[in-house]
């Protein structure tokens, strides 16, 4: 038996050998910090530079032994993934210190879809990848290290599950499902992989498939079954089955009190039930729990930030958005929301920086790009002294008219000829649940305004002018909820049509209810209700909504004018691009019919159509039309009206 002194010497020697090994192996790169830059050549002599990768790309740096089958296991899965998905935003580099003959054998057998880089040893040393292989380092935006894994076997499964989660954050649910399926095929009992697949199905809108997967996970053995119950609570909430969602979330919080995502589910339900204090309590609990995946933590932090932003606490909201991005740099909504918080405070430089950062992280995020464009326009306006002075004068005049309850009515003595049709989005309020992204109503009205202006049929009031006017009059969203106030604003800005309504965040959907109000008659000209679906499909749905708005405007406000002159089969009309005239428009030539006297009353019938024209070319104030048919000779001063019936 060793005495105490000898035993202590043995322990000390063991510790010394251990730390010596660690020192020789090098230290692993720090998560959240940029990985050490390097340049390595592949087997063809082509150099690959880490810092040359695009900032938003996710790179898997896989250090392996080309002569070891276990060391190559994870590479086989990544190779299959790269061959199935042509995703340039996911880079895989296999890095090895193996002899060239072993590398050549590996490449001949595997024919990988990624480069194999030859490392003399320095890079492996920098990444702590000499003693234990494989060592895998995943980098993300700005080349910061997201995850580090060492060893094969179960560690390979952990690597792939985390990669599936990261891919899900990048809005690539199909790839996330493929990675999850690969893990499940290797180990059907891996419940974490099944759960990630369930969330991928939810992201794809396949709630039934997600529910089936989570039910299977929930029925599994051990404590991991709680992952299924957690997922089920999210599915029920997405389906609008609030009671079932709350009951299932309660089960999760009792069984696994350190998990946070079930509290997010409860907060979502409570918020849309207008129980906002209770929702805040759940969000506070959610962000304090240690057991959640990175994308779940990011969702919780972002939701909590959205809550603070909804009550005007923007500084606190930004702190939470920053934390969400630290946990999951690909959670672009948090970066975009940070920009919106600056925008609401009028800090356009900071807003633009955040929107550009969001666009850099996700090049396919159309909303961040749109918000960045609008922020840039505001910054340019602030630098344009002449334009600023012009807007200041206009806003001052409009504010005075509003206070005196005067209409900004153009001095046009011609009641028949159509004036340019002005449209104003006065107020679209956000209601219902707490959406992941802030400023959805701003995005909605901005995109619709761009589409409507591009049509040429209407001129949408500049949002800058409206916002400045609201600020001048000290009118907030609660004031705009009053229809009389909204109408007064519309009339002051000479808008014939006012758009107002509500954007509802519903379980699994977004619903817009838009009312088009005639400011001259106060009548609702049209009510439009449209489901926008998930964020990924908004562009297509907004184009459809735009067509519905234009159809309602054309039907309710057909263009009217006069024949200026007639020459042969051609007529000149006093309507041009300024009124929204376009080539191909059909015009009826009309004349008033005499009234009919009946029981002491004069009844006016519909005008009689005496001819029809088709517009062949358009100028600013005039258009040229071809005479299609006529019941009499057409002449100057004949009235024309747009034919809105289907041809």
pLDDT digits (tens, 9 = 90+) for 439-474: 999 999 999 999 999 988 999 999 889 888 988 889
Say what the pLDDT of residue 467 is: 87
Cα separation, 194 vs 482, whole angstroms: 50
Structure tokens at 453: 């202006």
Say what the pLDDT of residue 552 is: 93
Say what the pLDDT of residue 205 is: 87
| CA quadruple 480, 483, 484, 490: dihedral sign | positive
Say what the pLDDT of residue 410 is: 54
With cut-offs at 50, 70 and 90, classify the pLDDT of residue 57: confident
Peptide bond into 440 cis (omega under 30): no
pLDDT over threshold 90, residue 409: no
The residue behind tokens 């952990």 is 158
pLDDT over threshold 70, residue 117: yes
With cut-offs at 50, 70 and 90, classify the pLDDT of residue 16: very low
Structure tokens at 344: 């609401």
Mean pLDDT along residues 215-243:
91
Cα separation, 28 vs 129, whole angstroms: 8
With cut-offs at 50, 70 and 90, classify the pLDDT of residue 26: low
CB 635 within 8 A of CB 563: yes
Say what the pLDDT of residue 225 is: 87
What is the set of domains in the chain, with CATH numbers? 388-556 (3.40.50.10070), 560-642 (2.40.10.410)
For residue 199, the surrounding DSSP H or E stretch is: helix 191-203
Cα separation, 160 vs 141, whole angstroms: 19
397: Cβ contacts below 8 Å, ≥ 6 apart: none
Mean pLDDT along residues 374-384:
91
Cα separation, 162 vs 330, whole angstroms: 13
pLDDT over threshold 90, residue 171: no
With cut-offs at 50, 70 and 90, classify the pLDDT of residue 647: low
Say what the pLDDT of residue 556 is: 93
First-residue to last-residue Cα distance in the chain: 105
pLDDT, one tens digit per residue, over 65-116 is 999 999 999 999 999 999 988 766 789 999 999 999 999 999 999 999 999 9
Cβ atoms within 10 Å, residue 164: 29
The model carries a pTM of 0.85
pLDDT, one tens digit per residue, over 600-637 is 888 878 889 999 999 999 999 999 999 999 999 999 99
Structure tokens at 534: 């998930």
pLDDT over threshold 80, residue 1: no
pLDDT over threshold 70, residue 14: no
The number of residues in the chain equals: 647
Lowest-confidence pick of 107-121, 220-234, 261-275, 574-588:
220-234
Say what the pLDDT of residue 411 is: 53
């Amino acid at each position: 038996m060793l005495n105490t002194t000898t035993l202590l010497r043995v322990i000390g020697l063991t510790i010394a050998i251990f730390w010596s090994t660690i020192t020789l192996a090098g230290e692993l790169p720090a998560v959240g910090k940029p990985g050490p830059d390097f340049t390595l050549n592949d087997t063809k002599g082509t150099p690959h530079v880490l810092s040359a990768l695009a900032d938003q790309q996710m790179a898997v740096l896989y250090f392996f032994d080309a002569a070891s089958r276990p060391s190559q296991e994870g590479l086989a899965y990544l190779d299959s993934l790269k061959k199935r998905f042509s995703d340039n935003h996911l880079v895989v580099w296999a890095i090895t210190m193996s002899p060239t003959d072993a590398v050549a054998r590996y490449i001949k057998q595997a024919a990988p879809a990624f480069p194999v880089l030859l490392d003399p040893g320095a890079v492996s040393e920098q990444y702590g990848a000499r003693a234990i292989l494989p060592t895998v380092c995943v980098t993300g935006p700005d080349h910061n290290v997201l995850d580090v894994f060492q060893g094969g076997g179960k560690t390979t499964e952990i690597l792939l599950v985390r990669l599936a989660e990261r891919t899900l954050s990048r809005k690539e649910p199909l790839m996330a499902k493929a990675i999850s399926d690969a893990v499940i095929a290797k180990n059907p009992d891996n419940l974490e992989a099944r759960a990630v697949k369930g969330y991928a199905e939810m992201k794809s809108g396949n709630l039934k498939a997600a529910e089936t997967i989570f039910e299977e996970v929930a029925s599994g053995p051990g404590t991991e079954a709680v992952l299924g119950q957690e997922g089920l609570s999210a599915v029920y909430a997405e389906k609008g089955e609030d009671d079932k969602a709350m009951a299932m979330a309660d089960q999760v919080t009792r069984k696994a009190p350190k998990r946070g995502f079930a509290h997010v589910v409860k907060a979502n339900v409570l918020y849309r039930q207008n129980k906002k204090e209770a929702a805040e309590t759940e969000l506070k609990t959610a962000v304090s729990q240690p057991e959640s995946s990175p994308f779940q933590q990011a969702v919780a932090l972002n939701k909590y930030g959205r809550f603070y932003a909804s009550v005007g606490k923007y500084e606190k909201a930004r702190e939470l958005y920053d934390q969400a991005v630290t946990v999951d740099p690909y959670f672009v909504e948090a970066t975009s929301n940070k920009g919106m918080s600056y925008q609401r405070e009028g800090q356009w430089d900071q807003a633009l920086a955040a929107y550009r950062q969001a666009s850099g992280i996700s090049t396919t995020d159309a909303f961040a790009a749109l918000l960045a464009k609008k922020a840039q326009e505001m910054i340019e306006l602030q630098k344009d002294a002449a334009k600023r002075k012009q807007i200041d004068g206009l806003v001052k005049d409009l504010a005075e008219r509003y206070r005196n309850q005067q209409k900004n009515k153009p001095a046009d003595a011609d009641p028949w000829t159509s004036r340019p049709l002005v449209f104003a989005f006065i107020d679209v309020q956000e209601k219902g649940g707490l959406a992941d992204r802030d400023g959805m109503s701003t995005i909605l009205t901005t995109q619709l305004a761009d589409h409507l202006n591009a049509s040429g049929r209407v001129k949408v009031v500049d949002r800058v002018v409206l916002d400045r006017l609201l600020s001048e009059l000290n009118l907030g969203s609660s004031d705009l909820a009053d229809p009389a106030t909204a109408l007064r604003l519309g009339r002051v800005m000479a808008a014939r049509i006012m758009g107002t309504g509500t954007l509802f965040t519903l379980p699994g959907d977004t619903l817009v209810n838009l009312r088009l109000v005639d400011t001259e008659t106060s009548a609702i000209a049209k009510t439009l209700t449209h489901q926008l679906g998930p964020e990924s499909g908004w562009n297509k749905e907004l184009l459809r909504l735009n067509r519905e708005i234009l159809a309602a405007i054309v039907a309710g406000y057909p263009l009217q004018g006069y024949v200026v002159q007639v020459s042969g089969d051609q007529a000149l009309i006093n309507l041009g691009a300024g009124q929204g005239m376009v080539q191909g428009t059909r015009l009826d030539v009309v004349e008033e019919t005499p009234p009919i006297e009946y029981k002491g009353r004069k009844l006016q019938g519909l005008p009689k159509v005496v001819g029809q024209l088709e517009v062949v070319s358009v100028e600013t104030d005039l258009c040229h039309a071809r005479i299609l048919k006529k019941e009499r000779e057409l002449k100057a001063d004949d009235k024309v009206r747009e034919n809105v019936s289907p041809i």
